[in-house]
Amino acid sequence: MEDKELLRLLQKDSERGLEAALDLYGGLVKTIVSRVLYDFPQDAEECVADVFLRLWKNRRKLHGAPVRAWLVVAARNAAIDRWRKLSRSLDVPLTEEITAKTAAPEEEICELIDTMPLPDREIFIRKYYFLETAAEIAAEMGRTPDDVNARLSRGRKKLKAQLLEGGRHFEKAKALQSDCKN
């Protein structure tokens, strides 16, 4: 089936058209989405479904556009949007794995945050202690919200790695901080 026929079928009988689109391009869309969301397989499946739902909702607006090309672009954009959302919302979980390696995780987290360089330390404190939004922090600090979110993401990853490694980096960071103060 060619794209023109598929588009006509989508507009005439949307249910059969959607089934045909899934048969023709489901594998392609899944491949594109999976390459972006490889760390999030469950979200990749949802993203594929979202792409075909968008196709169904926009079927009357396509007006002869190549369905395959539309799906490729929609899949790529949806996957990137989902990845950005997921990567921003990742928190450092205090799982058993982390708490088993640290005597007092809350205390160690506070100490690790204290070893962060400025402005990262201030951004972390504003976000997680004062519960300010990225936009509020950015406005106060003369930064962009994207910069604030990027620094938070990198900081969470470093913090998680330090906690999982049982604080080895903590001792090194603390020594470096005291060297800087002297």
Q: Where exactly are the structural domains of the chain?
A: 3-89, 96-181
Confidence category of residue 107, pLDDT binned at 50, 70, 90 = low
CA-CA-CA-CA torsion sign (73, 74, 75, 78): positive
Cβ-Cβ contacts under 8 Å for 145 (sequence gap 6 or more): 134, 135, 137, 138
Q: Say whether pLDDT at 97 is over 50.
A: no
Q: Would the CATH topology of 3-89 be identical to that of 96-181?
A: no
* CATH number belonging to domain 96-181: 1.10.10
What distance lies between CA 121 and its chain's CA centroid?
22
* CATH number belonging to domain 3-89: 1.10.1740.10
Whole-number pLDDT of residue 96 = 46
Q: Say whether pLDDT at 79 is over 80.
A: yes
The upper half-sphere exposure of residue 94, i.e. CA atoms within 13 Å in the direction of its Cβ, equals 9
Q: Model's pTM, two decimal places?
A: 0.49
* Residue listed under structure tokens 């604030």: 148
